[in-house]
Amino acid sequence: MIGQYIPQSPPMVMIGKLLTADGKRTLTSLVIEEDNIFCSNGLFREPGLIENMAQTAAAGTGYRSRQEGKDPPVGYIGGIRDIRIHEFPKTGDEITTEITVLHEVFDALVVVGKVFLHDRCIASCELKIFLSKSL
């Protein structure tokens, strides 16, 4: 269950399955449901794609934390750069999202996210994410 790796709860969960998490690369999938809060006119829109990339990064960090016997940290998007959206997936589509960690310094990560639909990259960006040690 994806909820053990990320702090979000429905209706804000924007990933369905954790496919791979090896420390530097995380891969998730999501089937776009019609009732998704980021769908409009049958399309999964910009905020959903960005949140999907951020939650994929969170799932990788959460998986690593669980392996160490710790709770997943809460992360905050500190910056978004070079966002490119080429296509919006439709309800019923399954997207796959890949996060690659470029830099990790203390409690900050810089990652590149890519969202794929049928092996085509439909969205990408660089995210700066800050992790909170405790709430």
Residue 135 CA to residue 131 CA, distance in Å, equals 11
Q: The whole model's pTM is what? A: 0.94
Q: Which domain holds residue 116?
A: 2-132
- The total of structural domains in the chain comes to 1
Q: In CATH, what number is assigned to the domain containing residue 54? A: 3.10.129.10
**Regions in the chain scoring below 50 on pLDDT:** 135
pLDDT the model gives residue 133: 67
Tell me the per-residue pLDDT of 70-85, one tens digit each, with 9 for 90 and over: 988 898 999 999 999 9
Q: What is the pLDDT of residue 135?
A: 46
Q: What percent of the chain has pLDDT over 70?
A: 98
Are 131 and 73 within 8 A, CB to CB? yes
Q: What is the CA radius of gyration of the chain?
A: 14
Q: Which residue's entry shows tokens 């959460």?
A: 62
